[in-house]
Amino acid sequence: MTMIPQGGPIHRFILQTFATTGQAPTLEAIQARFDLASLDEADTRLRDLEERGCIHRKEGDRLVTHAYPFSNEPTPHRVSLADGPQVYAMCAIDALGMPFMLKRDAQIHSECTQCQDEVTVHIQHEWLTQHSPAGLVVWFPTVQGSCVAATDLCPSVNFFCSATHLDQWRAAHPEKQGEQLSLELALAGGRNVFEPLLQDVA
């Protein structure tokens, strides 16, 4: 799984803004928070974070579209944070890693990619306490060569309510390569990727 680099104070501010408001900060908010000379300077700082793989923006758009694990656009993966907003996660593993990054309880609501039935995962005190359905698994695709995670990887990292439904989906999409992850393995992967991002923040 791709590790996300720590991007310094502005990166942390973006992640914390998502966690408290459910949305990305504006360029104006970044400029004001860090006393930057202009919006162009704020844009330059974001361009640096994008080049380092900390965030992603749509071409021609200066607003942050994605700051792993958060999405500024709706996705199938909704995370209700304790004492906070509902936020969108980039993918299933991002959703699972978010509570560990933020050190907050969370309820994850998503859907099975095959049947569209709801799936839920509850994490409390950094433990998986409840999930439904019982046979929940995650599909992690194989990506050849370098990629932009936001567009090339994340859309395919999804929940399936059972291994049987994943097998049915794979049979209908023989061109897709990847592996099935147990919920526990996907949870560990999400924790490993995202927990370090805010470790140095009090």
**122 and 186 within one domain:** yes
Report which residue type is found at 201. V
Report which residue type is found at 65. T
Any long-range contacts for 173-181 (C-beta under 8 Å, 24+ apart)? 176/141, 177/141, 177/142, 178/139, 178/140, 178/141, 178/142, 179/139, 179/140, 179/142, 180/137, 180/138, 180/139, 180/140, 181/137, 181/138, 181/139, 181/140
pTM summary value: 0.93
Is 4 inside any structural domain?
Answer: no
Is 169 inside any structural domain?
Answer: yes
**Number of structural domains the chain divides into:** 2
pLDDT at 7: 82
Q: How confident is the model at residue 145 (pLDDT cuts 50, 70, 90)?
A: low
**178 and 83 within one domain:** yes
- pLDDT of residue 202 exceeding 70: no
pLDDT at 144: 73
Cβ density class 140-153: b for 16+ within 10 Å, e for less: bbeeeeeeebbeeb
What CATH code is carried by the domain that includes residue 64?
Answer: 1.10.10.10
**138 and 38 within one domain:** no
**146 and 52 within one domain:** no
- pLDDT of residue 127 exceeding 80: yes
What CATH code is carried by the domain that includes residue 164?
Answer: 3.30.450.410
Give the separation between CA 163 and CA 180, rounded to whole angstroms.
Answer: 8
Is 94 inside any structural domain?
Answer: yes
Domain membership of residue 38 as a residue range = 9-68
Q: What percent of the chain has pLDDT over 90?
A: 84
How distant is the alpha carbon of residue 17 from its chain centre? 15
Is 16 inside any structural domain?
Answer: yes
Q: How confident is the model at residue 143 (pLDDT cuts 50, 70, 90)?
A: confident
| Beta-carbon count within 10 A of 53 CB | 16
**82 and 29 within one domain:** no
Rg (CA), the chain: 17
- pLDDT of residue 2 exceeding 80: no
Cβ-contact 22, 87 below 8 angstroms: yes
Strand order of the β-sheet with 158-160 is 158-160, 137-141, 178-182
**128 and 54 within one domain:** no
- pLDDT of residue 182 exceeding 50: yes
**177 and 130 within one domain:** yes
Backbone angles phi, psi at 71, to 5 degrees: -120, 135
Q: Over the stretch 100-116, which tens digit does the pLDDT of each residue have? A: 999 999 999 999 999 99
Q: How confident is the model at residue 201 (pLDDT cuts 50, 70, 90)?
A: very low
Q: Over the stretch 35-76, which tens digit does the pLDDT of each residue have? A: 999 999 999 999 999 999 999 999 888 899 999 999 999 999
pLDDT at 1: 65
Is 1 inside any structural domain?
Answer: no
